Structure 1
């Protein structure tokens, strides 16, 4: 059997790999053997971090609806038990729920694992790890994989014990209690018609375990049954097909709100009663409006591709917009840093739908994000208002587009960073190019009204050999105008596949 390339399974602060055959050119590398060994390594790492012997450790494991989930959960449990660690099988769960196993009264776990690959295709899977202080960092994952590669594990004579727990019900009950407490009502959603689209991921529990106890009519909800082949659409609030699916359900059922989750429920999006999507900049604006009412002047940390209109929206409501790097761990860690240094920051949120609130352990939790919106809906109803009114004055761009240009160079990070540094020098010399001074990722350049009336952001992808380019404009034809300004520079770089940008400019 070929040696396992453990280090290649790292994807930032997660483990990701191909778990099933079925797609040509994608051989399985996240095998049951690999997961067993990584779980053993996590046990060893956890023992070192806590100072406890393996026999004293307890770890909870959950999974999303992926086809490979049960087998990989069993493989992880086997690895931990072999190492002497006791395991609780939480079965079908959400990523946020698996963190909550560590901080919920009545439970005493030392760590937890979620078997998930978020919105990736059916053949992929992965592992996320938690301790009570939060999700593991990139450096922690590297350390665990180094232990797995070394394979130097002690095997105690007494294996760890195994039991099971329906923790998603415990987690859902906690959400219900929070919503009731915040709204001051046993059934605050009575009279509301709310539909959920779980995309056959792990979010189907929200209907029976959260909405029903709160009094909502959830008829018309769809794709609630777990099915890791994702037969209807990818569970992803950023996916056009997925958003059109929940939009259609809202309009067909004349619902007050539509909710959509990603596969492991750490991200969410919504649709208002008029069929307007509440995702990307709009969901950031909505949670910002709610939190700025509760915490005037708070800072809102977002990823780098948020719109100029969102910045204006936050600032006009008295908040501070702190635009940072992409990556949910990046925005979360930046929000934690701001609080530590004395700046109140209540939320870290990406346009992808990853939203982490200070009041909820800075855990990116799609269900909790929706819970905040539901509480606000109940409050607004008493005033004769609806949730969409909170973001009615958000200025949205007339045009917005993303181009994902492949980097063909072998050392793609070095090549991409060299291009970006050269562009910074180039941009500084171009008339009418206004380089954003407080930018933490790539280069962001603004253009005045009459000269594109918008901006571009060129950055290096977090993990892939790609340079994404985002362009936004408030003028008809503005995206093409701005693309035309940038294309001659990018075209000089032979190791960049800029055909998509060329097509925009010349089309």
Structure 2
């Protein structure tokens, strides 16, 4: 499948991300979007990223702009630095997907590009003429990102906590160590890898869960933290190794910053509707561009709105200045790691206890890989339009009480269980989300329906 825009950026097979294609997309971005006269370029730790970054830098120079080489760093760190200087940015990353794929994430001066920007970029492909050669510079954009958190949180915010950092091949593996130690935690590095490992924080595999449990016991840890490859999605596990879902981290972080308007995709945990303190909740399609668009709409209606956004993968977007933190309208992994831990410590309870006090709704998610997108879409279209086909696929479930097609097919059943089916737009994957009144029940729903999907599509 040729590279194309998905829920967050352009992605495709490395073999298809040719020098010509990468340069064409880069110059189309420059021609159609506001970059402020410079483009900051960062990359993750995939083997293919250095070469793709080199082609992007060449294309920026060829367009007559300043090409700022920021090297290896988290996506939110790149965006934070570029936006602070009024510049655009391009991150070379495939996020959580395997290393045979990669991609580009584009940022205008105000943050992530919108779906309208994506359309403009595609329209500008192949029509860009090269200008005079621009300048090339290098910049350390990571230090300001670290200071964002060490300045905003108290120096003892995490004192007394023993925290492991699952480093794998995350671009944030060293920055997380620095930040956690600066806030008083005792930090243990775990499983650093020089080979790229595609960690999906939204669908953590059983082997990784087993490693987390083992590390908690072996090192006497209160928590283990990690991220996906480009560090815009957090992972946080608490003793005895249980992972706190990203949409729970989002709700706790929203509570910490005292937000009153929440924007989150339809797939996120519905417990927020039962929580106190949030005046407005907006549900969107899955993908940060949709979350950002709804956040911007809320801010346009009320510039003083205390609005935040988050996704089920845990990526958190801050739309207002909160507790010394400047707004950052892109997915961030650090704040939804620090805020829940600091909130629990300030209340004198464990994070596990804090989570246990939330309304009892539990989510689970996993994916079926190797499924052609075209086949997934045909199958889902059938279920979406044919109640008989749905009844057959969901055989054994209670009667359906609601069908939501905001993004994919999300079915609510009598008794409150929810199953949400959604094929990936830019990878051969089919995702299944579920929600129930217990963690085991939610997991069982995902397992059951992934097996059904496998039987139909594999």
Q: What TM-score range do you get, normalising by the shorter chain?
A: 0.7 to 0.9
Where does residue 177 of structure 1 map in the other structure? 151
TM-score (norm 2): 0.82
Cα distance in 2 for residues equivalent to 1:82 and 1:406: 38
Where does residue 224 of structure 2 map in the other structure? 258
Where does residue 354 of structure 1 map in the other structure? 315
Where does residue 147 of structure 1 map in the other structure? 124
Q: Deviations over 1:106-133 (max 9, x none)?
A: xx35211111110111122111111221
| Matched residue SS, 2:226 | strand
| Matched residue SS, 1:149 | coil
Q: Deviations over 1:350-408 (max 9, x none)?
A: 2222222223333210012223234324423xxx3222222213455689676759988
Structure 1 residues 8 and 122: alpha-carbon distance in aligned structure 2, compared to 1, 3 A threshold: closer
Where does residue 178 of structure 2 map in the other structure? 209
Structure 1 gaps of 5+ residues are: 20-27, 488-496
In the alignment, is residue 457 of structure 1 matched against residue 420 of structure 2? yes
Alignment of 1:47-66 (within 5 A): 49=34, 57-66=37-46
Structure 1 residues 165 and 377: alpha-carbon distance in aligned structure 2, compared to 1, 3 A threshold: farther
Cα distance in 1 for residues equivalent to 2:456 and 2:12: 33
| Matched residue SS, 1:84 | coil
Q: Quick one: which of 22, 25, 40 aligns to 2:27? A: 40
Alignment of 1:3-22 (within 5 A): 8-19=3-14
TM-score (norm 1): 0.75
In the alignment, is residue 305 of structure 1 matched against residue 267 of structure 2? yes
Alignment of 1:26-425 (within 5 A): 28-46=15-33, 49=34, 57-104=37-84, 108-150=85-127, 152-156=128-132, 159-179=133-153, 183=154, 186-218=155-187, 220-224=188-192, 227=194, 229-230=195-196, 233-238=197-202, 239-240=204-205, 241-291=207-257, 294-295=258-259, 298-308=260-270, 310-311=271-272, 314-319=273-278, 321-342=281-302, 344=305, 346-359=307-320, 360-380=327-347, 384-394=348-358, 396=360, 404=368, 413=377, 416-417=380-381, 419-423=383-387
> Does the CA-based 8 Å contact 1:409-1:415 persist in structure 2?
no
> Does the CA-based 8 Å contact 1:189-1:378 persist in structure 2?
yes
Cα distance in 2 for residues equivalent to 1:409 and 1:121: 17
| Matched residue SS, 2:70 | strand
The alignment covers a number of residue pairs equal to: 442
Q: How much does 1:280 deviate?
A: 3.8
Structure 1 residues 237 and 469: alpha-carbon distance in aligned structure 2, compared to 1, 3 A threshold: closer
Q: How much does 1:499 deviate?
A: 5.5
Which of 89-98 and 299-308 deviates more? 299-308
> Does the CA-based 8 Å contact 1:413-1:460 persist in structure 2?
yes
> Does the CA-based 8 Å contact 1:190-1:216 persist in structure 2?
yes
| Matched residue SS, 1:166 | coil
Alignment of 1:435-454 (within 5 A): 435-436=401-402, 440-449=406-415, 454=417
Q: Deviations over 1:22-44 (max 9, x none)?
A: xxxxxx11023322332233333
| Matched residue SS, 2:168 | coil
Which of 202-211 and 258-267 deviates more? 202-211
The Cα RMSD (Å) is 3.9
Q: How much does 1:101 deviate?
A: 1.6
Cα distance in 1 for residues equivalent to 2:246 and 2:118: 29
| Matched residue SS, 1:385 | coil
Q: How much does 1:262 deviate?
A: 0.8
Q: How much does 1:324 deviate?
A: 3.2
> Does the CA-based 8 Å contact 2:90-2:104 persist in structure 1?
yes
Structure 1 residues 335 and 341: alpha-carbon distance in aligned structure 2, compared to 1, 3 A threshold: same
Q: Deviations over 1:44-65 (max 9, x none)?
A: 334xx46x7xxxx222111111
Structure with the larger strand share: 2
Q: How much does 1:96 deviate?
A: 0.4
Q: How much does 1:216 deviate?
A: 2.1
Cα distance in 2 for residues equivalent to 1:366 and 1:412: 30
> Does the CA-based 8 Å contact 2:235-2:314 persist in structure 1?
yes
